[in-house]
Amino acid sequence: MKTIPLSAITSRGETYSNSHWGSVFSAIILTAGMLTVVQVVVERPLLLADRFFPGMGWIEILVLSLYAGFLTPKILNPKTSVRWRTILWLTFSVIFFSQLILGIFGFTTFLMSGVLHYPVPGLIVAGPIYRGENFFMPILFGSTLFFIGPAWCSYFCYLGGWDLLASQHVKRPRPLSKWRRPRQIAILVLVVGGALYLRFSGVPISIVSRLVALFGLGGLFIIIFLSRRYGSMIHCISYCPIGLVANIFGKISPFRIKIDSSCTSCGSCSMVCRYDALKPENIERKKTGLSCTLCGDCIDSCTNNYIHYSFPGLSPQAARTLFIIIVVSFHAVSIGVARI
């Protein structure tokens, strides 16, 4: 795997050494490979192009693969990575919700299963438990955790990007309650237990739909009012049960963000972390908190390069390159297959 040496970036942050083409090519091939598996193995057409024009899914694969190649150097460049991560994230969210709106107005071809579901992240776990079937999204979510850990919460969640924008209303995150994590655990238990209860108790689907809608509206309220007030992504780190699942089970991925022992604890990383993962005690211990999603914003904020990605056997630069290639490829694949 070719890497992009940081020293190869010019003062404008736009020009790379020739080695970046290896990363671009890798992202293209990885994206094309994953989408080809979807195209060949899955019986029901998942790619939209195939649903409207049979056989055109291969053209969509080509377009999405080139798109991944275009994004890779944008995210790898430390001077543009934060901005392009936000663009990447919101692009997926806009496409996701656009398809949802079309589905609401009767264009069911845009829906994955042809049936409308609520766009509540917690339903990735609760929905299949309640229905007892349709485990595609949990499988997609689980594969993301395996390869890039909790980065699902900082690159792919269709509500997380909006939570990020709301949190940026405050320049510096404010301290949060020590009960933040217990509350999130309680919500996860309630959602899973509630799904099991509703499945076996015979509660009418009309009531279940209202409960799901209320849960989703509660999340929107938190994004609009609490995330904007505290400068942290309160929905993601205190309310969303999927966020907690990603934080815990994302540890199966070997990717980590490491803080060097030479860190001076200046706190510049804390000012950009919206996940409450770089509190003073975390920096003092030289270890990010459980809620870290590997977004990488802290890496670009550290002028002395004391924070970096790590992967067994790889240098920090190589670990970052590998991580971004996988993230961007998964993003392009998700645009093709992740729908409501």
Is residue 138 located within the same domain as residue 106?
A: no
> Would you give the distance in Å from CA 310 to the centre of its chain?
19
Say whether both 144 and 75 belong to one domain.
no
State how far the Cα of 326 lies from the Cα of 162, in Å rounded to an integer: 23
Residue 114 pLDDT > 80: no
pLDDT tens digit string along 171-204?
A: 899 999 889 999 999 999 999 999 999 989 988 8
Q: Mean pLDDT, to the nearest integer, of 252-279?
A: 94
In tens, the pLDDT along 210-264 reads 998 899 999 999 999 999 999 999 999 999 999 999 999 999 999 999 999 999 9
Average pLDDT score over residue span 150-175: 93
Residue 202: predicted pLDDT = 83
Residue 158 shares a structural domain with residue 213: yes
Q: Quick check: 133 pLDDT over 50?
A: yes
Is the pLDDT assigned to residue 7 strictly greater than 50? no
pLDDT > 90: what percent of the chain?
A: 64
Stretch 14-20: mean pLDDT, rounded? 54
Decide if pLDDT at 339 tops 80. no
The total number of structural domains in the chain stands at 2
pLDDT of 271 strictly over 70: yes
Note whether 90 and 23 are same-domain residues: yes
- Greater model confidence, 18 or 30: 30
Q: In this structure, are 106 and 138 located in the same domain?
A: no
Residue 69 has pLDDT above 70, yes or no: yes
pLDDT bracket for residue 139 (50, 70, 90): confident
What distance, in Å, lies between the first and last C-alpha atoms of the chain?
35
Residues 222 and 330 in one domain: no
> Does residue 292 sit within a domain?
no
Residue 122 CB contacts under 8 Å (≥ 6 apart), including other chains: 191, 215, 240, 241, 242
Q: Based on the domain organization, do 139 and 160 belong to the same domain?
A: yes
Q: Are 267 and 259 in contact (CB under 8 A)?
A: no
- Mean pLDDT within 46-62: 90
Domain edge (last residue) among 208, 230, 253:
253
pLDDT band at 12 (very low <50, low <70, confident <90, very high): very low
Contact between 185 and 244 (Cβ < 8 Å): yes
* Residues sharing a CB contact under 8 Å with residue 217, sequence separation 6 or more, in sequence order: none
In whole angstroms, what is the distance from residue 245 CA to residue 121 CA?
Answer: 11
Q: Hey, CA dihedral for 112, 138, 309, 18, is it positive or negative?
A: negative
Looking at residue 113, what is its pLDDT? 60
Residues 128 and 108 in one domain: no
Are 23 and 129 within one domain? no
Is residue 42 situated within a structural domain?
yes
Instruction: Indicate whether 291 belongs to any domain.
Output: no
Rounded to the nearest 10 degrees, the angle between the axes of helix 180-201 and helix 123-131 is 20
Calculate the alpha carbon distances from 308 to 298, 315, 317 in Å. 9, 10, 8
Q: Is 303 inside a domain boundary?
A: no
- Say whether both 123 and 12 belong to one domain: no
Confidence of residue 44 (pLDDT cuts 50, 70, 90): confident
Greater pLDDT, 123 or 75: 75
- Is 50 exceeded by the pLDDT of residue 297? yes
Residue 17 in domain: yes
The dihedrals phi and psi of 308, each to the nearest 5 degrees, come to -160, 165
More confident residue, 101 or 321: 321
Answer yes or no: do 3 and 36 share one domain: yes
pLDDT attached to residue 19: 63
Mean pLDDT across the chain, nearest whole number? 88
Residue 8 lies in a domain: yes
Measured CA to CA, the distance from residue 166 to residue 156 in angstroms comes to 17
- Of 253, 270, 288, the residue that ends a domain is 253
Instruction: Give 206's pLDDT tier (boundaries 50, 70, 90).
Output: confident
**Helix-helix angle 205-221:180-201, to 10 degrees:** 170
**Whether 199 and 224 share a structural domain:** yes
Domain range for residue 72? Answer: 1-113+314-340
Domain end point (choices 253, 271, 296) = 253
- Residue 278 in any domain: the answer is no
Query: In the prediction, which pLDDT does 36 show?
Result: 96
Q: Is residue 309 part of a domain?
A: no
